[in-house]
């Protein structure tokens, strides 16, 4: 009777390799501050429109602070992405926010409300999105598997029978194809593999 080795269990996904969520903490602290500043802007301009005319100066001051704050947020998003494991789109959004806040300041100074108001809404939403991404759980790093492998087999020494539990070693795997150097354990290589 020919016996085959049961392959070892499939490797578990690597959850910690290259992911250091500790790199996200600076952005997790700074992101809500930037978001709060961004969401303060419509409140200040609303108070200005309601008759509190000194709020326009406060609106401009917070806008000036936001230029630096958004740039720092972008810098903090880079280590939160690599090695922190945050989604790379958040870094792109943070970079776009840097350009957006500069355009926002220019549009505000020129009183171009057709650009200033929609861009302000976009910046407020983008700031919230970056903050959410900073707090979102990191995507686990997955074990690299060959592209043609339909299931995880850790090495070429595995046989055609897989399974764990009471039927381990007796359930054939129809996708298994012998590779060079694979022979039945009986030592005979007739080229006939039992099905």
> Quick one: DSSP state of residue 6?
P
Which residue range(s) make up the domain with 164? 154-195
| Token pair for 24 | 């996200």
Using the 3D structure, point to which of 84, 104, 135 is the last residue of a domain: 135
Using the 3D structure, point to which of 84, 108, 135 is the last residue of a domain: 135
Say if residue 107 is in the same domain as residue 183.
Answer: no
pLDDT digit string (tens) for 100-157?
999 999 999 999 999 999 999 999 999 999 999 999 987 665 555 445 545 544 444 4
Domain-located, residue 78: yes
Domain-located, residue 4: no
Q: What is the structure's pLDDT at 3?
A: 61
Q: Which residue has the higher pLDDT, 19 or 172?
A: 19
- The residues, ordered by sequence, that sit 6+ positions from 59 with a Cβ below 8 Å of its Cβ are 41, 44, 45, 48
Which residues face 161 on adjacent strands? 172
Domain-located, residue 142: no
Q: What is the structure's pLDDT at 181?
A: 54
Q: At what angle do helices 55-81 and 88-109 cross, to 10 degrees?
A: 160
pLDDT digit string (tens) for 32-59?
999 999 999 999 999 999 999 999 999 9
Query: N- to C-terminal Cα distance for the chain?
Result: 13
Q: What is the structure's pLDDT at 152?
A: 47
Say if residue 112 is in the same domain as residue 171.
Answer: no
Query: How many domains is the chain partitioned into structurally?
Result: 2
Say if residue 184 is in the same domain as residue 122.
Answer: no
């Amino acid at each position: 009777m020919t016996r085959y080795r049961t392959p070892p269990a499939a490797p578990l996904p690597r959850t910690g390799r290259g992911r250091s969520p500790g790199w996200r903490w600076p952005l997790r602290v700074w992101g809500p501050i930037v978001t709060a500043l961004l969401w303060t802007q419509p409140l200040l301009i609303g108070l200005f429109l309601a008759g509190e005319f000194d709020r326009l100066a406060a609106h401009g001051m917070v806008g000036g602070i936001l230029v630096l704050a958004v740039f720092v947020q972008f810098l903090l998003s880079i280590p939160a992405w690599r090695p922190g494991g945050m989604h790379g789109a958040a870094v792109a959004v943070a970079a776009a926010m840097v350009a957006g806040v500069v355009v926002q300041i220019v549009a505000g100074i020129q009183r171009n409300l057709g650009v200033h108001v929609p861009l302000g809404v976009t910046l407020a939403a983008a700031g919230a999105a970056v903050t959410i991404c900073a707090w979102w759980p990191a995507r686990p790093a997955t074990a690299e598997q060959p592209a043609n492998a339909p299931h995880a087999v850790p090495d070429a020494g595995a046989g055609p029978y897989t399974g764990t539990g009471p039927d381990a070693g007796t359930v054939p795997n129809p996708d298994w194809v012998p590779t060079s150097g694979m022979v039945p354990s009986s030592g005979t290589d007739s080229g006939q593999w039992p099905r």
